[in-house]
Structure 1
Amino acid sequence: MQDISAIGAQIRSRLPQLTPLERKVADAIMADKSFNHTTPLREVAHSNGVSEAMVVKVTKKLDFTGFRDFRDHVARYKQLEVANLHSEVKSDDSSAEVLDKVFRTSIQAIEETSSILDVNEFNRAAKILFKAKFIGVYGVGGSSSVARDFCHKLLKIGIKSTVYDDSHMMLMSAAVLSDDDAIVAISHSGNTRTVVDPASLAKKNGAKIIALTNYDQSPLVNVSDVVLQSTSQGSHLLGENAASRIAQLNIIDALFVAIAREDIEAAERNYNKTQQAVSHLREL
């Protein structure tokens, strides 16, 4: 772990691997503003009502060599501006406070997603989608809006794709795919069965699977050829998905540009055609 600005995102991506008690300990440490380079292990254990061995176990499951390694990285991360952008939204916050907290949380999601996004994976995704004969985009709930936005952008440059936000339609589409096709599977958790099952079936039929998710170890990631990871830190009221959606929209904006760049002349020609087709609808 070399990029300190990515520490928060990397820790959050591994939280699903922890037990409820282990996650409670990890969350408490990350929320503790007094935690620093000198915080002793025994103090962390005592304040969380667990053994020192439990704390060490948590740090190792978060992919650190031990407590000292974890403490050093987290203490340095907490000194960064990006680490302090998020604040919990409370029911009695004023509208000004809500606006400030929501915007700052979204800014953090974008900045930390940028720090962890793998450029090589991003380039692979762009090339796969540019060459694909058919592109299907899977997403349910909040992820379906991200899926629709991506398809809308692709159509602007003449690349036809289809959004599927129904489990039956996803499975039916996956059943008739081949190795000429590609699927973009969007799931915040990577555990959504209505997305994972069709992606698995599409994979069996030879299609390339590109996952857009917050967690780098999940059933969706396990069946994917390319993983584009986002990250976000939500609150009890806001949830993670809201800020995550902002980060994912930025990823697909960049992906759209990268795909267009593969044949910029065709992209510009088709863009002009599609904009001309709807131009009269913008006139009053």
Structure 2
Amino acid sequence: MNLFGFIVLFMNIDFNTALKLHYHNLSNKEKDIAEYIKKNISNLKFTNLDELATATNSSNSSISRFVRKLGFENYQQMRISFHIDHQSDFKNKILPAKISPDDSALEISNSVFQTGINSLVSTQSILHESDLLKAVKILEKAQNCIAFGMGGSTVIALNAYHRFLKSSLNCSIPMDFHMQLIQANRLNENDCALIISHTGRNKDMIRIVDILNKNNVPIIVITSNVSSPIAQASDCILLSISEETNYQPEALSSMVAQLLLVDALFILYSVKVDKDMSYYALARDLINETRIQ
């Protein structure tokens, strides 16, 4: 699956959301172009390609490459997204979270919460039913589902494992990288892999994906980078939008959205596949026995 396969996804998306999804893959010059557009977006709705190239000291071909990297079909489509973004500012304005050492404890906490809210709202806005149903179909057909995650993504993978333990899905999670390699090599087309990777560029995870692809294992990936090597090698992509502050890296805010994507998958699996509630009743009863009455 290549980048142009996602053009339809961005037909009605705003510029800032598209930028967040593809920012990791931009060159330094393209990031400069992006910053100029962000600062002048309300004035660029009627700016043509030549004018934008001149304003950013770029060539027309450079702007065109930048447009395609963001997943837009052409400059006109990207320019329409400026209008979508401008309109959304009036309809549902969510201020970016900014943090300063001079802020009070409550102001800093509010900024952290606002960053999470921004990520949730942005991620929800790009959810597509077809992607969710495709992921559930992959899970339904799988004899075994292995969750993979590294670093901070391990938390999300563990959450997925914890959720699906309460279902009929045979799910597990190897924690050690060598164990992950061996487990990936044991899977086949009748199984599936659920991969969590914020950037989609982790070398060790790419190695695991290569093994999975070699064995024709269906892959569901939850990521913030739609054009990353891991995303491109996967069968189903669920995207999370991340926000960044000067103190909090974007990977932290994306975790909030990724946790809820996992929850959405679990609930969908429960409703669409596990219509028998006995799995959940048994898990609930077992856990209740551990609590003091």
Please say whether Structure 1 and Structure 2 have the same fold, judged by a TM-score greater than 0.5. yes
Cα deviations by residue, 1:78-132 (Å, 9 ceiling, x for unpaired) = 3424564323333333222222222222122112212212321211111211221
1:191 alignment partner, SS class: coil
Q: Does 1:173 align with 2:183?
A: yes
How far residue 191 of structure 1 moved from its aligned partner, in angstroms, is 0.6
Q: Which residue of 2 aligns with 1:195?
A: 205
Q: How much does 1:16 deviate? A: 2.5
Cα distance between partner residues in 2 of 1:283 and 1:175? 43
Q: Is the 8 A contact 2:42 2:82 kept in 1?
A: no
Kindly report the root-mean-square deviation, in angstroms, between the aligned alpha carbons of the 2 structures: 2.7
Which of 106, 116, 129 is matched with 2:126 structurally? 116
After superposition, the C-alpha distances for 1:195-229 in whole angstroms (9 at most, x for unaligned) are: 12112202211221111111111110222111111
> Which residue does the alignment assign to 2:115?
105
Q: Does 1:148 align with 2:145?
A: no
Task: Tell me if 1:254 matches 2:264.
Answer: yes
Paired with 2:262 and 2:250, the residues of 1 have a C-alpha distance of 18
* d(CA) in 1 for partners of 2:101, 2:41: 22
Q: How many residues align?
A: 281
- CA pair 83-168 structure 1, distance change in 2 beyond 3 A: farther
**Equivalent residue for 1:243?**
253
Runs of 4+ aligned residues of structure 1 deviating over 6 Å after TM superposition are 39-47
Report if aligned partners of 1:134, 1:161 keep a CA contact under 8 Å in 2. Answer: yes
- Counterpart CA distance in 2 for 1:184 and 1:142 is 15
Out of 215-224 and 71-80, give the one that drifted further.
71-80
Structure 1 residues 33, 68: closer, same or farther in 2, change over 3 A?
closer
When normalised by structure 1's length, the TM-score is 0.86
Question: In the alignment, what sits opposite 1:26?
Answer: 34
**Equivalent AA in structure 2 for residue 247 of structure 1:** A
Q: Does the CA-based 8 Å contact 1:186-1:195 persist in structure 2?
A: no
Evaluate the alpha carbon distance shift between residue 56 and residue 157 of structure 1 in structure 2; reply closer, same or farther with a 3 A threshold: closer
Unaligned runs of 5+ in 2: 1-9
Matched AA of 1:208: P
Residue 251 (structure 1) shift: 0.8
Aligned counterparts of 1:181 and 1:255: Cα–Cα separation in 2 = 17
Q: Deviations over 1:126-158 (max 9, x none)?
A: 121122111100001111111111111111224
How far is the alpha carbon of 1:270 from its aligned partner?
A: 1.1
- CA contact 2:188–2:217 (8 Å) conserved in 1: yes
Tell me the equivalent position of 2:290. 281
CA distance in 2, matches of 1:83, 1:71: 20
Letter in 1 for 2:81: H
Q: Which residue of 1 aligns with 2:45?
A: 37
TM-score (norm 2): 0.84
Measured after TM superposition, the shift of residue 263 of structure 1 is 3.7
Whichever residue aligns with residue 77 of structure 1, its letter is D
Q: Percent identity?
A: 27
**1:78 match:** 86
Deviates further, 88-97 or 109-118: 88-97
SS across alignment from 1:148: helix
AA aligned opposite 1:70: M
For the residues of structure 1 that align with 2:206 and 2:215, how far apart are their CA atoms? 14
